[in-house]
Amino acid sequence: MTMRTRAALGYRPGVGLMLVNGEGRVFVARRIDTPGKAWQMPQGGINEDESPPQAALRELKEEIGTDKARIIAESKDWLSYDLPADLAGKLWGGRYRGQRQKWYLLRFTGSDADIDIHTAEAEFCAWKWVELDALPELIVPFKRQLYRDLIAEFGPLVRALGQGE
């Protein structure tokens, strides 16, 4: 796929979820289909018949097997990332150059035992809770700026959650 062809493609609409536990740590999981040790927060597409918040809660249940969370905040803007050229022609049937996402900060209201990544269409092979500031180094390079932007926007709320506020 040439740069010109890729530039003509649009962005897939999606949502992302920053799930935070009572200690202020963020949920990340390692994708089954990504080589290496890249970890990410849950994310996914928005179906035609749902709103972004509905998509966020559906993705939470589909990807980590629980809906024990409540939405605390929504990103001010839609955030986007471009796929590297070698992936743009492969993912989503080659129809998109990347994703444009509305992100949600969610407070996890369950226990670790409620999390089950071995769902019907499992995407992850491992999961863990991490410190907020570790996120950019855990994600694949082409999503790092998006994760930095999320830390800047949601960071004060996440830190407050970790202090029991």
If residue 113 lies in a helix (H) or strand (E), which one and from where to where?
A: none
pTM, 2 dp: 0.90
pLDDT tens figures, 40-54: 999 999 999 999 999
* Contact in structure between 20 and 99 (CB atoms under 8 Å): no
For the chain, which residues make up each domain, given as ranges? 3-157
| DSSP one-letter string for 49-100 | TS-HHHHHHHHHHHHHS---EEEEEE-SS-EEEEPPHHHHTTGGGG-EEEEE
Please give the CATH superfamily to which domain 3-157 belongs.
Nucleoside Triphosphate Pyrophosphohydrolase (3.90.79.10)
pLDDT at 7 over 70: no
